[in-house]
Copies of this chain bind each other. A is one copy, B any other.
Amino acid sequence: MVTIKDVARVAGVSPSTVSRVVRGAGKVGKKCRAHVQSVIVEMGYYPNINARALVSQKAEMVGIVTPNFASPFFGSIASGVAAAAKAANYKVMMSNSSGEVDAEIEAINSLREHGCSNIILHSKLSSEETLEKLALNIDGLVIINRQVDSLAERCVWLDNVAGGRMSAEYLLKKGHTKFAVIACDRDNQDAEDRLFGIQKAISRAGLSIPTENIVIVRPSLANGYKAAEALVKSGVEFTALIAYNDVMAIGASNALQDLGYRIPQDVSIIGFDDSLLAQICRPNLTTMLYPVHDMAFHATELSIQLTTQKEAVGNRTHLFMPTLVERDSVLDMVKV
């Protein structure tokens, strides 16, 4: 390994000078800088980040803590974080929380051992108190995809109520009046918010959704399928179906088609996420885009600001809006 001392010796200067040119900081004579630079290249020197982090007590590294690396969500988060990190010359680490509370804390600690205080936490599990405590100790902690009131300025989240509202409003605009909803278990705040938004939009239009038209299941393709079957079997009437997410929308779409319904001629369906699947399924799914990449990017910028120029951050919230992506699963009843 070639160290800063080696370079200094060869270049005939002191280690501090080499350090200055490496970091591009401090005053160094133009000529001297050029010479040192050339020696650096020649010798193939690169800095030892561990030594640097040790002495400067900071890490220029952002860590992602998330329950599941295999999920498509993680990919989007990772690419958003990586993009922002790269722009700031930060490295990125990742740490798996396995979807368990203890593992989450452990994952965070493993990042802190590296002196990493820029942490993007994707957590549905930890209690608000835990999060508050964490935030107190970790300057750069930012929570993504969750809103914690007391930590509002450090949460980057999606307006699920607005998302639900927008999906319903779109259907309303297309002339639909009879709705069904496939929602999710109660301990899912996102699902609750979306449902709330949906109902708000619909009641504002002077309509309502009968409770029989709302089926609540755990999110999965199979459950989307079963939920749609149940809806049909129970004999409730609807021309438009709003699903919690794309996967369930697709499950429902498949079930309905198997039952002889045409999508969207007989039933319109709208999903949520705009995952890759929405472009694969038939018909292509109209859905609400969840801007995960952008949110992760923003969360990372925020985290870095929090640790480098806290004053500049301000006491604002970081609320993102989903946007509608029109494809082929919704029928325009007005035109028809």
B94-A48 in contact (CB<8A): no
Interface string of A81-99 (1 = CB under 8 A from B): 0100010000111111000
Min CB–CB distance A49 → chain B (angstroms) = 5
B82-A69 in contact (CB<8A): yes
B71-A75 in contact (CB<8A): yes
> Taking A46-B112, A69-B75, A95-B91 as contacts, is the C-beta distance between A254 and B277 under 8 angstroms?
no
Q: Which residue of B lies closest to A111 (CB)?
A: B91
The answer, yes or no, to whether A244 is at the interface (CB within 8 Å) is no
A257-B280 in contact (CB<8A): no
From B50, B57, B82, give the contact of A54 (CB < 8 A): B50
Q: How far is the CA of A79 from the CA of B98 in the complex (A)?
A: 10
- Complex contacts, A221 vs chain B, CB 8 Å: 279-280
Min CB–CB distance A297 → chain B (angstroms) = 12
Copies of the polypeptide in the assembly:
2
Q: How far is the CA of A152 from the CA of B237 in the complex (A)?
A: 62
Q: Which residue of B lies closest to A59 (CB)?
A: B50
Q: Which residue of B lies closest to A93 (CB)?
A: B93
Q: Which of A49, A95, A254, A257 has the most CB of B within 10 A?
A: A49
The answer, yes or no, to whether A25 is at the interface (CB within 8 Å) is no
Q: Which residue of B lies closest to A98 (CB)?
A: B86
The answer, yes or no, to whether A78 is at the interface (CB within 8 Å) is yes
Please classify how large the interface on chain A is, using the bins under 10, 10 to 19, 20 to 34, 35 or more: 35 or more
Q: How far is the CA of A250 from the CA of B280 in the complex (A)?
A: 7
The answer, yes or no, to whether A150 is at the interface (CB within 8 Å) is no
The answer, yes or no, to whether A293 is at the interface (CB within 8 Å) is yes
- Complex contacts, A76 vs chain B, CB 8 Å: 70
Q: How far is the CA of A71 from the CA of B72 in the complex (A)?
A: 8
Q: How far is the CA of A112 from the CA of B2 in the complex (A)?
A: 12
The answer, yes or no, to whether A186 is at the interface (CB within 8 Å) is no
Q: How far is the CA of A276 from the CA of B250 in the complex (A)?
A: 13
Q: How far is the CA of A221 from the CA of B279 in the complex (A)?
A: 9
Q: How far is the CA of A285 from the CA of B50 in the complex (A)?
A: 48
The answer, yes or no, to whether A219 is at the interface (CB within 8 Å) is no
Report A233-264 residues with CB < 8 Å from chain B CB. 247, 250, 254, 257
Min CB–CB distance A117 → chain B (angstroms) = 11
From B46, B47, B51, B70, give the contact of A75 (CB < 8 A): B70
B53-A50 in contact (CB<8A): yes
- Complex contacts, A175 vs chain B, CB 8 Å: none
Report A102-132 residues with CB < 8 Å from chain B CB. 109-110, 112-115
From B47, B57, B93, B281, give the contact of A280 (CB < 8 A): B281
Min CB–CB distance A258 → chain B (angstroms) = 9
For the complex with contacts A49-B114, A277-B280, 20 further pairs of A-B residues with Cβ separation under 8 Å are A1-B57, A46-B109, A48-B113, A50-B114, A54-B54, A69-B75, A69-B78, A69-B79, A74-B75, A75-B75, A78-B78, A78-B94, A82-B96, A86-B96, A92-B93, A92-B95, A254-B282, A257-B282, A277-B277, A280-B281
5 chain-A/chain-B pairs, Cβ below 8 angstroms = A46-B109, A54-B54, A70-B79, A78-B78, A277-B277
